[in-house]
Structure 1
Amino acid sequence: MKGISKFIFTTILGWKIANDFPRGLKKYVIIAAPHTSWKDFPIAILARNVSGEKINFIGKDSLFKPPFGFFFRALGGAPVDRSKNNNLVDAIVDIFNSKEEFRLGLSPEGTRKKVNQWKTGFYYIAKGAKVPIVMATLDFGKKQVAISEPYYITDDMEKDFKHFHSFYEGVEGKHPELF
């Protein structure tokens, strides 16, 4: 799978990966941005496969219904019911705490639409699970996925979010007007 993914990602699509996911770190949250198109998902999956890092993801529950539900589960996905007011952060923290190795990739925007501010769930998941955050760009301008060093959040959420936002400065989504 890695060889096929690399061929598609680099040769056919012309993308590259700058840096690599942290080796030896068994648990972390990955935030991938900007999320402005359905095309972000296949790019992220290909980048994950090229890196060889096992990364899980969550998605709206409608994606996991027939006929394609099996496909998204096979890729490492888990459905989330966004219509209910359930405590998703605590449930994901429990998953982190119950596993020896777990890496969760998600979009800080929580949608492909333009948002004025990011969701905070990823932050509280990392805080509750006591794991770092790794940032990854989906830069369609450079055709590049850039990966940050692990960032251990502080008790200053405003400072942490400034750090996150600065990593994504100049990054161009598939639809730049939505980021």
Structure 2
Amino acid sequence: MARVDDDPPGPVARAVRGLLLLMYRLRGWKVVGVVPEPRRFIIIAAPHTSNWDFVNFLGLTADLGIRAHFMGKLSLFKWPLARFMKQMGGVPVDQRGGGNMVQQMVDEFARRSEFMLTVAPEGTRGKAQKWRTGFYQIAMAAKVPIVVGFMDYGKKTGGLGHMIWPTGDFRADMMKVFDVYKNCTAKYPERTARSIDDIVGSDEGREA
């Protein structure tokens, strides 16, 4: 498989990232942590309880000087938005005919020398019954670590925390993740995980 890297962001994408970074800083946010090397990992974006989370996270990544990627429906990558979406870090996912999202992202990791894929496993801004496990399946199959990304509205700090290599024991690995998030204040705390069961679910054998 041919190895590729991203095209540099165009003027519109740079302007949007600059605006988001300015909004992030004007609202009093500060970045903490460092970017792990090599820059090939999955970033958990949580807690995810508000549309502001995405805006703040893009400001955070701009502050860290990284170009994080995110998955988007294939329909979003058509003219006239296709180039802009890709320059902002979007990666199209084709789920037509039961397309395998996990394998598509594993292939992306294989194609790129630098790839930091951001996933919001809660899958909703409301209260989730459990996290979706796609991010974990991708990490296992692509043999890449998981990095805990966070936005703490109590302290107005955001950044990248622990790096965790998935072991195949989802509950044990997510306990390490929960240890970070249990001390992190979401914009709407009532919507976020309050126990490990809010992440793995009461029925761990059921597919997410």
TM-score bin, normalised by smaller chain: 0.7 to 0.9
SS in 2 for 1:138: strand
2:17 maps to 1:15: no
In 1, Cα distance between the equivalents of 2:127 and 2:85? 25
User: RMSD over aligned Cα, in angstroms?
Assistant: 2.4
Deviations 1:31-69 (A, max 9, x none): 010111111111111111111112111134565567766
* 1:122 aligned to which of 119, 135, 158: 135
2:49 maps to 1:36: yes
* 2:186 aligned to which of 169, 173, 177: 173
Q: CA deviation at 1:4?
A: 6.0
SS in 2 for 1:150: strand
- Consecutive unaligned residues in structure 2, runs of 5 or more: 1-13, 193-208
Percent identity over the alignment?
Answer: 38
In 2, Cα distance between the equivalents of 1:3 and 1:77? 17
Q: CA deviation at 1:105?
A: 0.8
**Residue 84 to residue 49, structure 1, CA distance change in 2 (3 Å):** farther
Structure 1 or 2, whichever has the larger Rg, is: 2
The number of equivalent residue pairs is 177
Letter in 2 for 1:87: N
Q: Name the structure 1 match of 2:157.
A: 144
TM-score with structure 1 setting the length: 0.85
Residue correspondence of structure 1 range 21-170 to structure 2 within 5 A = 21-22=35-36, 24-60=37-73, 71-80=84-93, 85-170=98-183
Deviations 1:109-164 (A, max 9, x none): 12222102111010011111100000111222221113213211113221011111
In 2, Cα distance between the equivalents of 1:174 and 1:67? 33
**Residue 95 to residue 67, structure 1, CA distance change in 2 (3 Å):** closer
**Residue 21 to residue 100, structure 1, CA distance change in 2 (3 Å):** same
Asked if the contact 2:49–2:126 (Cα under 8 Å) also holds between the matched residues in 1, the reply is: yes
In 2, Cα distance between the equivalents of 1:143 and 1:52? 19
